[in-house]
A and B are shown apart, each in its own frame.
Chain A
Amino acid sequence: MTLKNVINSWKLVFKDKKYIFLSIIVAILFYSINVLINGYKTIFSTYNLLGISEAITIFFALSTALRSSIELHSFVSLIATSILLGTLASLIFYKINVMKEHNTTKSGALASIGVFLAALAPGCAVCGIGLISILGLSGIIATLLPFDGLEISIFAVIILIFANWKISKDLLVCKINKKYNEKMKGGIK
């Protein structure tokens, strides 16, 4: 529950270069998906007309030019979202790896899946944000929302900060089931 726990968890995970690398890869992947969503028409038409190598060139050009094609706040939130999703992925994989390494029973595999889903569930709510534009909803959102969708970007970043915080503070513990705890308190006086 403390900030110290969170800092310790981050120090522990990111002193291993493997997890820094994983964070970077996930962040780049998420950013790339957003580039692809944003410019898929251009990339696919280039692919159809000029082939794969030109399509890749266009993809990289779009990646570097994304800043100028979207609002500044959208770009900043995309960068923040990508980084936070990267760190979240590393924290999840670290926890699962520790559970696998030190597992004493077979139930650990199920527990690992549980950790993965529980930690990713709030974090992946932001995965849908990229989909909003591919479904053509961005225009509707822009007209409906007073800050042209900025509120969704901020919301996504807040969700990811929450997900990172939640997994970091209990990174190295088997969390007590609070409902069960309350039941125990009621039963044992």
Chain B
Amino acid sequence: MSEENKGTITIKKDTLWKYATFSLLGIIVLGAIFFILPGNSPTGNVVADGGQQIVTAKVQITEADHILGNPNAPVIIVEYSDYECPFCERFHSETFGQIKSQYIDTGKVAFIYRHFPLNFHPNAQKAAEASECAAEQEKFWEMHEMLFESGVQGGVQTYITYATVLGLNTEQFSECLNSGKYVSRIQADMTQGQKEKISGTPGFFIGKEGKDYQLVSGAQPFNNFKQVIDSKL
């Protein structure tokens, strides 16, 4: 080796290419692993339990919540939903009935409905307000049922028709709906959902009051809910 080449490392162009490719692949694989692993919840820890997400933050139940079933039931399900979301409708038509008959009506589960109207669903916000306006006249669950079963197409006019069908005072209902008095109430639900880190609708928290809640995401079939509920009972 000549004096000039001392202290110089020589790498073949081909070898350099291979190292570069391996490094790139390594970065891609690491990126994929980082993407796949669950993150942390802003309100508490999220731990992996056999692939399921358990939210250790306590889900707060307030006076404003709409509760179906025994309020002192051992297990609570909190649903975040949007009346215009097809998956929320799917949950309502295919799964909710079984949960109601086997767990809510038997006093084992208290079901809480919270609003999460998504911004890309044009009729969802007013539909949520319509259900709150119906709640003023003690008909929240009836309106809730009707919004899912008959749909939200047509917006405000459709909701007024539903109010008539349900025997509500339509003048009071229309005034309530036009005033937007429940906008902040619905936003409060959404803020709570964001704090509890739901990623989409329908999003469910299943657990016991004051204990860990498990997040179930999406319109899963009844058996998936059954497994989680039974594990909490």
Contact = CB atoms under 8 A, between A and B. Distances in A.
Nearest to A9: B218
Contacts of B17: 145-146
Interface in A89-111: 98-108, 111
A172 B29 CA distance: 27
Contacts, number: 132
B219 A1 contact: no
Contacts of B35: 162
Given A106-B153, A108-B86, A165-B36, A173 B218 contact: yes
Nearest to A12: B221
Interface stretch (A69-77, A132-140, A174-182): A174-182
Contacts of A151: 21, 24-25
A28 B89 CA distance: 35
Interface residues of B, number: 55
A172 B87 contact: yes
A4 interface: yes
Contacts of B121: 105, 107, 174
A77 to B, nearest CB: 13
B39 interface: yes
A98 B24 CA distance: 38
Nearest to A150: B21
Interface string B165-199: 00000000000000000000001101100100011
The B contact surface, by secondary structure, is mixed
Contact of B90 (A2, A7, A8, A101): A101
A42 B1 CA distance: 55
A98 B51 contact: no
Contact of A2 (B48, B118, B188): B48
Interface of B: 14, 17-18, 21, 24-25, 28-29, 32, 35-36, 38-39, 48, 50-53, 82-90, 93, 116, 118-123, 151-153, 187-188, 190-191, 194, 198-203, 217-221, 224
19 contacts: A1-B53, A1-B199, A4-B53, A104-B83, A104-B152, A105-B123, A107-B84, A111-B120, A158-B28, A165-B36, A171-B218, A172-B217, A173-B218, A174-B118, A175-B200, A177-B118, A177-B119, A184-B187, A184-B190
